[in-house]
Chains A and B, each alone.
Chain A
Amino acid sequence: MELFALGVGNYTEKDIQEAARSFSGWHVREGAFWFNRLQHDDSAKTVFGKTGNFDGTAIVDLCLAQPACPRFLAMKLLKTFVCPEPTPAMIDAVADRIHQHEFHISPVLKELFCSRLFFDPAHQRSVIKSPLDLVVGSLRSLAATVKWPAIARLLANLGQDVFEPPSVKGWEGGRLWINSSSILLRTNFATELASGDQIATLRKSVIDSADGTSEAVAARVERLLLGDSSPPELHADIVAHHQHADGNALQRLRSTLQLVLSLPEFQLQ
């Protein structure tokens, strides 16, 4: 109720106690669910003001029937995919779709990813990338071969030890990904990926894009890493950076990749 369905303030301590009685007898035995009828509390329970001889499945249904549930899920989806502080109107709209689709998340996400909300310029690059988003996203854009053990260590140092969340709640995310140390680690990741081969090598198609005018190379890098909505005000600075870089075409491309991967804009999605 607290972490995955309703959120604090939408249930009472008494609801928790009564719900716990409903789950009595639930076990895992030899890796599978097992219901021990002898340990189940068969007496009446009162949860969310409703009284009955509820079992665990009934409690799940009662949680889903709470108006707070679709709103809580909508909030999580919006914070993950749209913006850090969704408005009540946005939450209500998505919660309504969750309700309509009877909690099937896939159609809700399909709608969300095609929505005006999702493509609203105000929400472009407004969510701070998690270490996984940043690192795996960069590798997908650029890398040929990847040294995964080094990547796993990097993710842990960045605060996201994959499959080892700090608590059952998972990672808090958002601004908590960012501190002075993690910024420098993110910057060093950009340096290593763009200029070295300790964590990954660059794809041939990326290396082949090194030739051309500064204007053309900058545009290609922006499109590759920042997408169609690359902020136009950055373009002149990225072109100038490429113009002033020294070395051969590949070295200048690597330098430009390093800059764009380090930009605050690139830490957002």
Chain B
Amino acid sequence: MLSSNRRDFLRLLGTAGIVSLGAVPPRFLVQAAETPGIAARDKRVLVLIQLAGGNDGLNTLIPFGDPAYEKARPGIGFSKDQVLKLNDHVGLHPSLTGLKLLYDEGKLAVVQGVGYPNPDRSHFRSMDIWQSAQPQNENPRDGWLGRALEWQFERQPALAEALSLGTDKLPLAFVSTRVNVPTLRRLEDFQLVDGQGSATNRELTRTTLKQLSGQSATGELDFLRRSTTTALTSAERLKSLSSTYRTTVSYPATGLASRLKLIAQMLTADLPARMFVASLDGFDTHSQQQPGHAALMAELSGAIQAFEEDLVEHKLSDRVMLATYSEFGRRVAENGSLGTDHGAASMLFAVTPTGTAGLHGTHPSLTDLTDGDLKYNLDFRSVYATLLDKWLEIPSKAILGAEFPTIGIC
């Protein structure tokens, strides 16, 4: 049976005449029509939240019981009365109330001590390493999800769809030589303005533009035509979504919440995109860290909480795995400006429908350090291998170039 959303969507396809386009298939739209029978397990969705700037893991998952923590963080540390305790040793930042609820409901996994060998403290280099999953490659050309999309495209093109939200440019994680992933910086950027012409002329111009862009070509013209087709069809689809989607969940009025809400809308309409990256910026907290970091923690927690409630309401939560990542943690000791500088190993969150909730791995020692930084005890590629092998069912060895042991988050 077609859901009503899917039916609306197919109607949109019909009126827009997209099915009859020429050589370049606007796959994003067409394949929802072509492959109504994709098994539920194939509709699994991965949502990654990029915490850009280097999130302070030690003030996110706080080892309040450790005297070394109090000593290293006299100005910006949290006491055991302030944290949201997970056990007798660690607790969440006081602003992570939504994530604490998910933890208590058995949905939140917290992975400790994640990092990679020979950590680099440059934002750019370290983000490149996280996104390419190729620490040895000085000049990575593609990203781990981009390679996963290529693998998928060769086998089931209908499932090789992804979207990046809230980033200026396509994150390296999604870069691929063959699969074109749209970027959505702000929702308002992603709408065609109507202008002052008549509705008839507007429709006529859009239809003609789509027809002409749908023809195949070579070189830069081909690239521009494909990009135009992707952009126009994505904009149309997003416009139709806002008229069909309803929710009783009230999302916070934050950027991340609006991005996650948009993802929920797209999933509700049963569209085939299955990988999303949403970015939350501002974690480079070198000075006066506490108020800014607390606001970011609240934005993260509130957005994820609302998103998960919305997924439950739309009976989608079984299909969606969410995880966070950041280019590095911060140094153990606070600096002289009540902030923290670039560090190494850190932690990440996962909201999992299938895996084991709770704490994973062991918290890195605060006294056994490398050059003042935490030592990692879990390679980040183990997290990726887990998401690929156990969630997306894409063989991780082909994507990561080596075998990494999986963990229990899914």
- Measured CB to CB, the residues of A under 8 A from B are 84, 125-128, 157, 175-176, 178-181, 183-185, 187-188, 191-192, 194-196, 234, 237, 240-241, 244-247, 251-252, 254-255, 258-259, 262-265, 267-268
Contacts and interface: CB of A to CB of B under 8 A. Distances in A.
Contact of A251 (B184, B201, B212, B232): B201
A262 B202 CA distance: 12
A178 B209 contact: no
B3 interface: no
B295 interface: no
B208 interface: yes
Nearest to B194: A191
B170 A183 contact: no
Given A179-B183, A241-B208, A254-B197, A184 B227 contact: no
Nearest to A179: B183
B204 A245 contact: yes
A188 B185 contact: no
7 contacts: A175-B223, A180-B227, A183-B232, A184-B232, A192-B195, A194-B195, A258-B197
Contacts of A184: 189-192, 231-232, 235
B212 A258 contact: no
Nearest to A258: B205
Output the residue of B170, B192, B221, B224 with the most chain A CB within 10 A.
Answer: B224
A188 B192 contact: yes
B143 to A, nearest CB: 15
B220 A262 contact: no
A127 B221 CA distance: 9
A125 B224 CA distance: 12
Contacts of A195: 195-197
Contact of A262 (B182, B209, B234): B209
Interface residues of B, number: 39
A192 B213 CA distance: 20
B211 interface: yes
Contacts of A246: 198, 200-201
A3 B185 CA distance: 29
B182 A179 contact: yes
Contacts of B190: 180-181, 184
Contact of A180 (B183, B205, B209, B213): B183
Given A179-B182, A184-B192, A241-B205, 18 more contacts: A126-B219, A175-B223, A179-B183, A179-B227, A181-B190, A183-B227, A183-B231, A183-B232, A184-B231, A191-B197, A237-B208, A241-B204, A247-B201, A251-B198, A259-B205, A259-B208, A268-B220, A268-B221
Contact of A263 (B182, B204, B209): B209
Contact of A128 (B191, B209, B224): B224
Contact of B220 (A128, A181, A237, A258): A128
A180 B204 contact: no
A176 B183 CA distance: 12
A237 B185 CA distance: 33
Given A245-B201, A245-B204, A178 B185 contact: no
Interface of B: 169-170, 182-186, 189-198, 200-201, 204-205, 208-209, 211-213, 219-221, 223-225, 227-228, 230-232, 234-235
B183 A196 contact: no
Given A180-B183, A259-B209, A247 B198 contact: yes
B221 A264 contact: yes
A185 B189 contact: yes
A128 B227 CA distance: 13
Nearest to B200: A246
Contacts of A194: 195, 197
A180 B184 contact: yes
Nearest to A122: B219
A264 B183 contact: no
B192 A187 contact: yes
A262 B204 CA distance: 13
Nearest to A242: B204
A129 B19 CA distance: 30
Contacts of A192: 193, 195
A180 B184 CA distance: 7
Nearest to B208: A241
B185 A196 contact: no
Contacts of B209: 187, 259, 262-263
Nearest to B170: A179
Contacts of A180: 182-184, 190, 227, 230-231, 234-235
Contacts of B192: 184, 187-188, 191
A85 to B, nearest CB: 9
The 5 closest A-B pairs by CB, nearest first: A180-B182, A264-B224, A191-B195, A183-B231, A195-B195
A192 to B, nearest CB: 6
